[in-house]
């Protein structure tokens, strides 16, 4: 079943590594929320009346919204969409927002899953990334959420940080396991163009990301996750049995989804569209009764390449039966041919008529995927 993503484009402060769309000014928050509710109405037919299985509040920092603001959004969603009674409803939150009172308020809403952006339990790492919280707040936020009844909690961690030693990375993982969270998303620090981090590295203010150390920390993570019974169901995502992210899994398994808010993407199986990445233009367009987005009709090759890119990153792999059924025998032949050299080196495994990355292959997943692409 399809899902809905809602982009909340506000943050208290800018993280040095982030290139997502956001604003640190809350001056037009009320106007944005009014526009968002109007967009929900305007997009009510995008998913063809199908029941919604997941809702995800991302950003930005959705935990900046009040209980009343969140409930107004839910009221509008329920007015125009059929939402499953057991829908997974996730809200991204920063630890510094999750006071006892805030968690109590969130618990009074339909939100049943928290995604807490911890990144590191070491203050020197948090300072380098310009995070608004400290390590004590990170630990407290998780414990307080658990105490208030949130069982389904995921935390974000980042490795490859210039200040993060292998020993401290092991300790970060151990701290996460000790908190008994059910899901961990762990990403390698990426230096995106036009970010503060990119500028700091260029000017020599901080060291660049060490690719060798990042690879070592990835391997450390795989071993630690395995020992602690976490399933790596996608390259950057690990969970206890039964705690997969349904929303993100829908992305990887090519379910349809609707994106709401500035910069949000939508996908309906044959086309992709994305809203304007500007809060003022987004609000102005909606106020005029217009949707401001760009759209791309996907060719068969593009749809195949997207399937390769997403499926190969998951525990489910590339389903060769699906490829033949959805794209034809020529695409199946191409897949097996291009995967041949990786099958020989055991970077890719052929199991149950699926192509699945081995731990060795996960280190260069994007390279393998790109080699399997078909270019127009």
pLDDT band at 375 (very low <50, low <70, confident <90, very high): confident
Give me 346's structure tokens: 């055991």
- Residue 300, pLDDT score: 96
Neighbours of 8 (CB within 10 A): 28
Single out the residue of 369, 330, 141, 210 nearest to residue 156, CA to CA: 141
CA atoms within 13 A on the CB side of 125: 22
Which of 64-73, 177-186, 197-206 shows the lowest per-residue confidence on average (mean pLDDT)? Answer: 197-206
Which of 66-70, 242-246, 252-256 shows the lowest per-residue confidence on average (mean pLDDT)? Answer: 252-256
Instruction: Please give the share of the chain, as a percent, with pLDDT higher than 70.
Output: 100
- Residue 19, pLDDT score: 86
> pLDDT tens digit string along 155-177?
999 999 999 999 999 999 999 99
Could you tell me which residues come within 8 angstroms of residue 98 by beta carbon, excluding any fewer than 6 positions away? 63, 114, 116, 140, 141, 144, 145
For every residue of 251-266, DSSP letters joined together read HHTT--EEEESTT-EE
* Average pLDDT score over the chain: 96
- Residue 88, pLDDT score: 98
| Ordered domains of the chain (ranges, CATH) | 3-252 (3.80.30.20), 300-372 (1.10.10.920)
pLDDT of 325 over the 90 cut: yes
Going by their DSSP bridges, the two strands 231-234 and 237-239 should be labelled as antiparallel
Residue whose structure tokens are 């992305």: 251
Beta bridge partners of 183: 154, 239
> pLDDT tens digit string along 106-140?
999 999 999 999 999 999 999 999 999 999 999 99
- Residue 184, pLDDT score: 98
Give me 79's structure tokens: 């007015």
CB 1 within 8 A of CB 254: no
pLDDT of 194 over the 90 cut: no
> pLDDT tens digit string along 266-309?
999 999 999 999 999 999 999 999 999 999 999 999 999 999 99
Q: How far apart are CA 225 and CA 303, in angstroms?
A: 32
**In which element (H, E) is residue 366 found?**
helix 365-372
Map residue 336 onto helix, strand or coil: helix
Neighbours of 372 (CB within 10 A): 22
CB 157 within 8 A of CB 184: yes
pLDDT of 376 over the 80 cut: no
> pLDDT tens digit string along 6-51?
999 999 998 999 988 989 999 999 999 999 999 999 999 999 999 9
């Amino acid at each position: 079943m399809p899902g809905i993503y809602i982009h909340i484009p506000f943050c208290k402060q800018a993280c040095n590594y982030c290139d997502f769309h956001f604003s640190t000014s809350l001056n037009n928050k009320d106007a944005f929320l009014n526009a968002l509710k109007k967009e929900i109405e305007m997009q009510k037919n995008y998913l063809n009346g199908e029941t919604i299985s997941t809702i995800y509040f991302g950003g930005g920092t959705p935990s900046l919204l009040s209980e009343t603001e969140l409930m107004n959004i839910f009221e509008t969603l329920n007015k125009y969409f059929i939402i499953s009674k057991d829908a997974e409803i996730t809200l991204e939150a920063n630890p510094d927002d999750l006071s006892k009172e805030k968690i109590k308020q969130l618990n009074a809403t339909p939100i049943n899953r928290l995604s807490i952006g911890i990144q590191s339990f070491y203050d020197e790492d948090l300072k380098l990334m310009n995070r608004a919280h400290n390590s004590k707040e990170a630990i407290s936020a998780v414990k307080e959420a658990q105490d208030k009844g949130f069982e389904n909690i995921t935390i974000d961690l980042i490795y490859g940080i210039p200040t993060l030693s292998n020993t401290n990375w092991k300790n970060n993982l151990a701290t996460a396991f000790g908190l008994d969270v059910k899901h961990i998303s762990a990403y390698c620090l990426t230096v995106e163009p036009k970010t503060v981090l990119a500028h700091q590295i260029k000017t020599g203010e901080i060291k660049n990301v060490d690719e060798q150390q990042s690879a070592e920390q990835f391997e450390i993570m795989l071993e630690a996750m395995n020992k602690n019974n976490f399933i790596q169901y996608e390259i950057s995502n690990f969970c206890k049995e039964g705690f997969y992210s349904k929303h993100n899994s829908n992305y990887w398994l090519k379910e349809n989804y609707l994106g709401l808010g500035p910069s949000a993407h939508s996908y309906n199986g044959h086309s992709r569209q994305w809203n304007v990445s500007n809060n003022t233009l987004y609000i102005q367009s909606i106020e005029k009764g217009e949707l401001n987005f760009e759209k791309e009709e996907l060719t068969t090759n593009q749809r195949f390449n997207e399937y390769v890119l997403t499926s190969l990153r998951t525990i489910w792999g590339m389903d060769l039966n699906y490829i033949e059924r959805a794209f034809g025998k020529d695409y199946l032949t191409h897949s097996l041919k291009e995967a041949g050299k990786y099958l020989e080196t055991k970077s890719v495994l052929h199991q149950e008529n699926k192509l699945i990355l081995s731990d060795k292959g996960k280190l260069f997943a994007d390279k393998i995927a790109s080699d399997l692409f078909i270019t127009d």
